Structure 1
Amino acid sequence: MNNGTHASVETALRHYKEGLGVFTQKLPSVAERFNAFTEACFAEGALSKKEKQLIALGISLTTQDEYCTIYHAKGCLDEGASEQEILEACAVAAAFGGGAAMSQAVTLVQECLRELRTTH
């Protein structure tokens, strides 16, 4: 996905899940604790699950983490975020992350919306 060669969004999600599976087999106690921690962080609370996914998408864009951008774009859709909400979260990320975040918002996030919206 780097260097201008974007794999499909579904392929990237599959690679992430496969890698996580291998990691979990090799370090199960670490993976289990990490998963429990992130599940607690993304649980419904004062912020909704959708709001938390939108925040995570913005952070992913700002830190230039393509796998997390794809994962959280999907999470936003899974939690019922509209395209407008997702794009506004991208705009806020661009306000902090500048052109680097904006470039991912107008390419990778748009690609995620195109590919993943058809499955929701």
Structure 2
Amino acid sequence: MEHIHEPRNSTEAALLEFKSGIGTFTQKMPEIAHHYNAFTEACFKEGKLSQKQKHLIALGISIQSQDEYCMVYHTKGCLDQGASEEEILEAIGVTAAFGGGAAMSQAVTLVQECITELNQLKQ
């Protein structure tokens, strides 16, 4: 009997849910998924901007657009690329200055929860 990994927290559950959804989409629409993935990988490659900077930008955009899956994904990307909590919070501040209350409400709840939970997973 195969052991099914139960997520330990809502952040991990969201990441697994997103991964599962991408897998299903890839099975049903492989050509579109391939092109989308290639485009995304090219956009996030190290260039004049670091991958960390690109994930900080993407996190701000995802907060502004209220895209919770991308908030979780790019918070993880920021941490994986070595962003400190202070750098992430500074990016949130810039987003909030642009996006106002809606951005701030997501930033002070979901993103901070993700930082805590993702850091706990590393331990």
TM-score normalised over the length of structure 1: 0.93
Structure 2 matches for 1:1-120, cutoff 5 A? 8-120=10-122
Over the aligned positions, Cα root-mean-square deviation in angstroms equals 0.9
2:14 is matched by which residue type in structure 1? A
- The higher radius of gyration belongs to 2
Point out where structure 1 has 5 or more consecutive residues left out of the alignment: 1-6
Partner SS state of residue 73, structure 1: helix
Partner SS state of residue 111, structure 2: helix
TM-score normalised over the length of structure 2: 0.91
Number of residues paired by the alignment?
114
C-alpha separation in 2, matches of 1:110 and 1:41? 25
1:42 is matched by which residue type in structure 2? F
Q: How many angstroms does 1:96 deviate by?
A: 0.9
* Per-residue CA distance 1:16-61 (angstroms, 9 max, x = gap): 0000000000000000000000000000000000000000000000
Q: How many angstroms does 1:95 deviate by?
A: 0.8
C-alpha separation in 2, matches of 1:53 and 1:119? 19
